[in-house]
């Protein structure tokens, strides 16, 4: 009798990913929540009906690593433009990292970011707080303000970006130990950008002195040892302080092996990698220079291939886009000096199709892809079971994807404000284009068109205690 009640939304003729497999049938949604997943003939009447045309319906992507330059640098994009891109890419929840002007190292600064996001976001969101050596007294206050995790960098603020990194860095080993101890008291995860800045800055100075500022020298200035050594040290520091630690955008198999061994030994440690480390090698840096520049840099083809072993053995916990919008001018200046270009690229719209293309090609299974893209991040950052899974009682966050029709990537088709710099995958043929995206039962994208009226629909999320 319950299913005879009219609901708000029904998706029928679908292959619904639930319980670890695809189920032929549909989804019924009432008041933003999934109320039933059942065969088509059992679905109730609804105000809105979507025909999935036998395409897969997957949990919406929970992207644990996104940078929106709002407030502070909205010329690069704002919460509206970048969450429009998120919806276009099947991302229904994103975790916003704390590079902003200034970073949210206090509840008052965090509140300013919240006020900026609330009227703009099309999809749901949560915030990381800034953890640094400058304001240790604020760590506990920020934790109580409802963040899902902390983020820190292990270097001084980059020249010219001091305001974006204030309160966000632990620039030496003493500061790291103090910072880890402060975060450990909160019980929240501390996410770390793990590169040895001493090695990097010394190499950059040497290369500059020798006039070596061409494309290859970005990767050469940030060799694998800069990441591997730092991961090894921070695992030790985390054990010493008891902090829960997560490594952002790991790019080397050697660092992943260190994390794998730490997990085997019972340490609570989490590991993220990004699509560009799985699909692009340092050959792309040689080809397009600053448009392929990120930190850490792209690695060799051999290294890239080895990362997939850790994708498939469970070592990698989640995939983050590290979506980083910048102006074209901020990238173009690296054409003559690679060290002057901004590091990062806007890629939130392509994470899902890239990983689904890997599923098609047999590089990983669909259940593993869903874990990496949705479920694990929701679990680890305290958003599960409302987010990251399709089952009755969960939020109706889902994406319908086309696995049958290949499409060719062009940055001109991206919705991010920074699409001019999003050229890394141009010409790549993928499957898994998002057709429809729902956030708490609202179709924020239908037939590939994002609804501009969905601005402000996104809600701030808090970790479950």
Name the CA dihedral angle for 383, 389, 393, 395, rounded to a multiple of 10 degrees.
70
Note whether residue 112 is domain-resident: yes
Residues 409 and 290 in one domain: no
The range of the structural domain enclosing residue 95 comes to 60-380
Q: Which residues have CB under 8 Å from 1's CB, separation 6+?
A: none
User: Residue 307: what pLDDT?
Assistant: 98
Note whether residue 461 is domain-resident: no
- Are the C-beta atoms of 96 and 127 separated by less than 8 Å? yes
pTM for the structure as a whole: 0.98
Note whether residue 463 is domain-resident: no
Note whether residue 464 is domain-resident: no
Among residues 323, 347, 380, the one where a domain terminates is 380
Residues counted in the chain = 465
Q: pLDDT tens across 213-260, in order?
A: 999 999 999 999 999 999 999 999 999 999 999 999 999 999 999 999
Residues 162 and 234 in one domain: yes
Residues 53 and 65 in one domain: no
**DSSP state letter for 94:** E
- Are the C-beta atoms of 294 and 312 separated by less than 8 Å? no
Buried b (16+ CB within 10 A) or exposed e, 149-185: bbbbbbbebeeeeeebbbbbbbbeeebbbebbbbbbe
Residues 309 and 322 in one domain: yes
Note whether residue 462 is domain-resident: no
Beta bridge partners of 401: 434
List the CATH number of the domain containing 118. 3.20.20.140
Among residues 355, 380, 405, the one where a domain terminates is 380
User: Residue 4: what pLDDT?
Assistant: 61
Note whether residue 334 is domain-resident: yes
Mean of pLDDT values over 159-172: 87
Among residues 380, 415, 439, the one where a domain terminates is 380
Note whether residue 465 is domain-resident: no
Mean of pLDDT values over 27-44: 98
Q: What does the alpha-carbon distance between residue 207 and residue 222 come to, in Å, rounded to a whole number?
A: 12
Residues 238 and 328 in one domain: yes
Q: Which residues have CB under 8 Å from 347's CB, separation 6+?
A: 274, 275, 276, 321, 322, 323, 422, 424, 425
Residues 340 and 432 in one domain: no
Note whether residue 123 is domain-resident: yes
Q: pLDDT tens across 88-119, in order?
A: 999 999 999 999 889 999 999 999 999 999 99
User: Residue 133: what pLDDT?
Assistant: 87
List the CATH number of the domain containing 450. 2.30.40.10
User: Residue 2: what pLDDT?
Assistant: 46
Residues 65 and 53 in one domain: no
Residues 343 and 283 in one domain: yes
Candidates 248, 98, 96, 103; CA nearest to 167 is 103
Three-state DSSP class for 239? helix
Average pLDDT of the chain is 96
Residues 102 and 212 in one domain: yes
Q: Tell which phi-psi region holds residue 247, choosing left (phi > 0), alpha (psi between -120 and 50) or beta.
A: beta
Q: Tell which phi-psi region holds residue 157, choosing left (phi > 0), alpha (psi between -120 and 50) or beta.
A: beta
Q: pLDDT tens across 347-403, in order?
A: 999 999 999 999 999 999 999 999 999 999 999 999 999 999 999 999 999 999 999
Predicted confidence (pLDDT) at residue 410 exceeds the cutoff of 60: yes
Q: pLDDT tens across 317-342, in order?
A: 999 999 999 999 999 999 999 999 99
The number of beta carbons lying within 10 Å of the beta carbon of residue 206 is 12
Residues 327 and 440 in one domain: no
User: Residue 3: what pLDDT?
Assistant: 47
Q: Tell which phi-psi region holds residue 146, choosing left (phi > 0), alpha (psi between -120 and 50) or beta.
A: left
* Strand ranges in 31-87 using DSSP code E only, listed in sequence order: 33-38, 46-51, 56-59, 61-66
Residues 191 and 332 in one domain: yes
Domain count, the chain: 2
CA 282 to chain centre: 21
Candidates 347, 275, 344; CA nearest to 316 is 275
Residues 307 and 444 in one domain: no
Confidence of residue 161 (pLDDT cuts 50, 70, 90): confident
- Are the C-beta atoms of 394 and 92 separated by less than 8 Å? no
- Encoded tokens for 401: 């994807």
């Amino acid at each position: 009798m319950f299913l005879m009640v009219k609901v708000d939304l029904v998706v029928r003729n679908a292959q619904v990913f639930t319980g670890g497999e695809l189920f032929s049938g549909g989804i019924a949604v009432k008041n933003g929540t999934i109320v039933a997943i059942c065969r088509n003939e059992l679905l109730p009447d609804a105000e809105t009906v979507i025909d999935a045309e036998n395409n897969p319906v997957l949990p919406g992507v929970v992207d644990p690593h996104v940078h929106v330059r709002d407030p502070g640098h909205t010329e690069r994009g704002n919460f509206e433009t970048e969450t429009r891109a998120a919806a276009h890419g099947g991302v229904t929840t994103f975790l916003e990292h704390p590079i902003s002007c200034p970073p949210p190292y206090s509840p008052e600064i965090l509140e300013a970011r919240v006020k900026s996001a609330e009227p703009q976001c099309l999809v749901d969101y949560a915030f990381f707080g800034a953890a640094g050596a400058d304001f240790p007294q604020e760590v506990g206050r920020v934790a109580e303000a409802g963040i899902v995790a902390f983020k820190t960098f292990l270097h001084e603020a980059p020249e010219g970006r001091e305001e974006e990194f204030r309160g966000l860095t632990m620039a030496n080993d003493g500061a790291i130990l103090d910072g880890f101890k402060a975060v450990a008291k909160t019980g929240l995860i501390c996410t770390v950008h793990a590169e040895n800045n001493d090695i990097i800055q010394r190499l950059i100075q040497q290369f500059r002195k020798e006039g070596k500022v061409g494309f290859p020298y970005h990767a050469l200035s940030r060799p694998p040892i800069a990441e591997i050594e730092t991961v090894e040290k921070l695992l030790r520091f985390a054990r010493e302080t008891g902090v829960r630690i997560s490594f952002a955008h790991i790019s080397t198999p050697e660092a992943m092996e260190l994390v794998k061994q730490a997990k085997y030994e019972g340490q609570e440690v989490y590991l993220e990698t990004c699509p560009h480390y799985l699909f692009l090698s340092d050959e792309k840096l040689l080809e397009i220079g600053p448009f392929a520049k990120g930190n850490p840099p792209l690695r060799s083809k051999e290294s890239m291939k080895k990362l997939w072993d850790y994708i498939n053995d469970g070592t990698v916990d989640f995939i983050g886009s590290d979506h980083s919008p910048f102006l074209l001018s901020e990238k173009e200046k690296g054409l003559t000096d690679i060290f002057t270009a901004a590091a990062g690229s806007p890629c939130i719209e392509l994470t899902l199709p890239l990983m689904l293309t890997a599923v098609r090609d047999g590089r990983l299974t669909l259940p593993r892809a869903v874990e990496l893209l949705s479920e694990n991040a929701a679990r680890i950052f305290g958003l599960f079971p409302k987010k990251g899974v399709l089952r009755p009682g969960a939020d109706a966050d889902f994406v319908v994807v086309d696995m049958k029709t290949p499409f060719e990537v062009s940055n001109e088709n991206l919705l991010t404000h920074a699409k001019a710099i999003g050229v890394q995958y141009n010409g790549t043929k993928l499957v898994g284009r998002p057709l429809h995206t729902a956030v708490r039962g609202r179709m924020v994208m239908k037939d590939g068109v994002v609804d501009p009226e969905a601005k402000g629909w996104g809600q701030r999320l808090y970790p479950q205690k």
